[in-house]
Structure 1
């Protein structure tokens, strides 16, 4: 399990080309050419890409038929290849051989995902969310993936975008697991989504709403697109550190209020030391639709728990 703090991540300079080499970066590919397996591979043509995002993909050798697809979203200042290193999903893909991982990158706003603009907070409106959905749709088609096994995860800015993607595309994603984020729509109307450009009240945990208010914000992201009807939303688990003073800890409760209302599941219990010592599992309903994890003494961000994510995804 990779456990690298944000400060260590920045101090190590994990944006260097050395890390990209360690990740096994391969020559450019396109959907018309068979994608190499066992290496992180850039894909340059995955369809509609209005915000000019980049994509790397990891396909294990001997991939099973009808695989799952995981969209894994980096934190601010990161890239897809860096997040492939930090999240450590690739070795698990090699072992299980039943899923591929998409690692997008955004070059904009200090490499933070756009979770603030009207375009990105509207389904298929030409924002980052449109480009990310295009990647997922391409992967489902390219690998004849199981459309019932499509998942989204991410850290910090990537968690913020995971919540937004689940809100905008509930018909695509079956489950979410994300780390140290904010409720979907919390930064709506902000000048940007990076720490330098965003409305600070959200990151500071000062934007407090009722569950019903947060649910209305989330559902507005899907909207009423022509030809679509609103269906069920994906199940969600979300993680946050109690010592997080960057994306402050109250955001965990706001996310849980939002999703418990959307998914219509009440709080039921807590479980100490789950899945690790110092973590508290917060269970809603029977735990099949919504759980939170509160990490004592952990700052920004909570380390990725790939085994727990894959268990949540049913992989």
Structure 2
């Protein structure tokens, strides 16, 4: 068992097949080239033109587990938004962040299946296409970065916890700790902002629009996905978004966390968590504020 999976496999949970107010499996949401599972939570009191949050589990986990381990669904009950908790069953349940097909817009990988879940949900529930968000932990954070690069048109904003820059694992033989090239997780894939921006642009070369806003967290004591990966994410997205580092804000959003602000702080922020390992706990209240849903 990997270090990723030991953190998350203790929270197994059963879900009830009820259409509203419980997590439900959706089997036909469009093209699904890598056989992902779609699990959706539609609150009983659904907002008019509801927002959508796509929440991506870590290695060794499932969408059902991530739904139980986070507060997004209880917050959905309060706010009326829809949550999607997909699952991948390959490579120790790690998202496919290493293969060209996923690192390419409409390339036939995990990213395309996830994008089709979003499109299905927008159409079925008349959701607000301008209020679609993505978040995830560990491998889910890695995939969050990939979704921002491959389908930037779908998402308004993103948050993630303890991941790596989009493209960091490109060409690796696998995406799980047991199969991946360790250089990325060890913080040894280092590029300039310009080089990282080129990696992002290559994933969707014809796209000329804006990219989702990002707030990304990392533990300063993370020995599994080394803290240098926070710097690489921030270099990547600051170059793509055209914002530069402006200041640090200590003890934000809590004691021991330092917020790294880029530009005016509306497009890109990082959070370095002192003494925190893998993974940084999910801060749902910060996420919802960043998404404009609080």
TM-score by length of 1: 0.90
1:124-143 → structure 2 map (5 Å cutoff): 124-143=106-125
Aligned to 1:237: 215
Aligned to 2:7: 9
TM-score by length of 2: 0.96
Deviations along 1:62-104, one digit per CA (max 9) or x if unpaired, are: 101100011100000000011111221111111112x100000
Q: Distance in 1 between matches of 2:44 and 2:198?
A: 43
Q: Does structure 2 conserve the Cα–Cα contact (< 8 Å) formed by 1:118 and 1:189?
A: yes
Q: Distance in 1 between matches of 2:45 and 2:70?
A: 22
Q: Distance in 1 between matches of 2:215 and 2:47?
A: 26
* TM-align CA RMSD: 1.4
Deviations along 1:216-251, one digit per CA (max 9) or x if unpaired, are: 111111123xxxx42111111100000000000000
Aligned to 2:269: 291
Q: Distance in 2 between matches of 1:230 and 1:137?
A: 20
1:230-269 → structure 2 map (5 Å cutoff): 230-269=208-247
Q: Distance in 2 between matches of 1:6 and 1:63?
A: 34
Q: 1:196 aligns with which of 178, 186, 191?
A: 178
Aligned to 1:31: none
Q: Does structure 2 conserve the Cα–Cα contact (< 8 Å) formed by 1:77 and 1:112?
A: yes
Aligned to 1:215: 197
User: Any gaps of 5 or more consecutive residues in structure 1?
Assistant: 28-34
Shift >3 Å, 4+ stretches: 5-10
Q: 2:76 aligns with which of 82, 93, 96?
A: 93
Tell me: CA distance 1:71–1:180, structure 2 relative to 1, closer, same or farther (3 Å): same
1:26 positional shift: 2.4
Is 1:37–2:20 an aligned residue pair? yes
1:273-312 → structure 2 map (5 Å cutoff): 273-312=251-290
Is 1:76–2:73 an aligned residue pair? no
The answer to which of 215-224 and 76-85 deviates more is 215-224
Please give the secondary structure, in 1, of the residue aligned with 2:85.
Answer: strand
Q: Does structure 2 conserve the Cα–Cα contact (< 8 Å) formed by 1:26 and 1:42?
A: no
